[in-house]
Amino acid sequence: MAVEVQESVAGKTVALLLRGLAYDVEANPALAAKVLDALVATGILDDDADALVTENDATLPDVLAVPEPNPDLLGLYAARIDLRTHFLLGGLQGVRTRLEQLPIAALRRIIQVRQLDPEKVTTKLRSTSKLIDFICDRVGVQVERERELARAASWML
């Protein structure tokens, strides 16, 4: 029973990672090329999929030609972004730089998934830059709060 549970958890983790990767691949053609190269190199594709990605024919199916990201994956993608790490590595500018790459729908999902706006202040905001400012402010406050808690608890160490 424990082995089945571990396999199920591992399967769900891999599925979550692949869903997020799918969003990244849809939004980033350079990453898509790298992923295709890696898939072909591993040999895990079946013959039909392998033929599709290795063909030199420029007539791709319409589904593959559309660069728009899948809106169903926005929540998963937003959940994957580690805003705290971006803040610690690059400060508010690091967070801002990362968020500027996202569409407005993804910014709204980040606010929703991270529960950054319990007062629903951002529902009226229409500007990407204002949403990014809001997220940066909230992340900065959260990180500073964590630092204060760490300083206060440091006497225990």
Q: How many CB atoms lie within 10 A of CB 41?
A: 8
Helix, strand, coil percentages, rounded to 5, for the chain: 80, 0, 20
Which residues, other chains included, contact 50 with Cβ-Cβ below 8 Å and sequence gap of 6+? 40
pLDDT of residue 157: 63
pLDDT of residue 3: 46
Answer whether 84's CB lies under 8 Å from 142's CB. yes
Give the CA dihedral 22, 26, 31, 36, nearest 10 degrees: 70
- Give whole-number Cα distances, 114 to 13, 54, 85, 97, 148, in Å: 19, 40, 14, 18, 21
pLDDT of residue 55: 59
pTM above 0.85, yes or no: no
Answer whether 27's CB lies under 8 Å from 69's CB. yes
pLDDT tens-digit series, residues 28-62: 777 777 888 787 788 777 766 656 665 544 444 44
Residues present in the chain in total: 157
